[in-house]
Amino acid sequence: MFLSKIHGEKQHQLFTRLYGLYEKGLTFLLHSPSIRSYIIDVLHNPRLSICTDEHTLIFEHEFDRYLYYEIGCNETFYFFNIQMYMKCLHTIEQLVGSVLITQYNVPMLQKLTSTLFHKTAFIVYMETYTHKNKLRYRADKISCHMLKLAAKFGFISDSLYIALYYYKTLRYTEALSVLEMIKVKLAQPYATYMYNFNLGPEMYPEAVRGQSWSLKMRQTVAWANRLYHEIHYISELIPEQESAFQKKSSALGIPPLILLYMLEILCYKHVDTMRAQAALDDLQTLIHYEEGQIIPLLFRDISWRILEICQQEIGNI
């Protein structure tokens, strides 16, 4: 509102002052003459008190759920080359040190960074996989490092991009190792599928209650994995990505546990056919009997389609 009217040092001073008022939280209302007149009688009554602590006005698990839901809905990028992604990373780096960034902005920037790393990693691979061995080896190292950083900064489900990359590059044993680690994390009682809004305060045991949003994001949050149409992740899902693109969707969304089982089936197909069949049975049971907490209605069709793909793959062994 003030950008076109106030400039230079005065603009910075105004933002600093406004942010200072914002940091006061609800107590700022007590400094407003117009509002103060309505509550002055209450303040003078020793038998009454006014709660100004924002954390006591809403349950921690409820606030976190909506915070991460907003992050998950707004962490997409629509660029198609590495140069633009590098520019975005540079912008995020500058924002991290800005006085205008609040505690609520930090996890958002963290998730944006994770998404940038995972997309850049796959684009680096796509642009170098036909090059000579030495260059391809260096690019692979860079991609692996970026994907590990993406998992470090993002949701639990962001680690699945590492497994996708390992499967794409024929490293089935390494992919299975990553999948096993993710499976353990998703099995924890505080692992939360953020599109499920029917969760109570019991979702946050003492192990995570009161921790920073950044830490809770890495340890408790699972979100549908987005496969962006400009990136060919694995050949088995390219037709589904193209179908999503034809429907004007920027990405194909897959529930993390569905993607996990799919990758497990595809990897075991190459190393242990009996375990591949067991993983297929687990996926089929999940899809048939899950009641909407892990596979919401929005993702039922793609989940059934993935089951069909996996059944075809196992049938071809």
Assign 114 to helix, strand or coil. Answer: helix
- CB-based contact 143:125 (threshold 8 Å): yes
CA distance 97 to 101: 8
107-164 pLDDT, tens digit each: 999 999 999 999 999 999 988 877 778 888 899 999 999 999 999 999 999 999 999 9
E-strand ranges in 137-235 read 192-193, 221-222, 225-228
Per residue in 182-235, pLDDT (tens digit) is: 999 988 877 776 555 455 555 565 667 777 888 888 888 888 999 998 899 999
Delimit the domains of the chain by residue range: 1-57, 58-315
The CATH classification number of 58-315 equals: 1.25.40
- Residues recorded for the chain: 317
Threshold 0.75, pTM exceeds:
yes
Please state, as a whole number, how many other Cβ atoms lie within 10 Å of the Cβ of residue 256.
Answer: 23
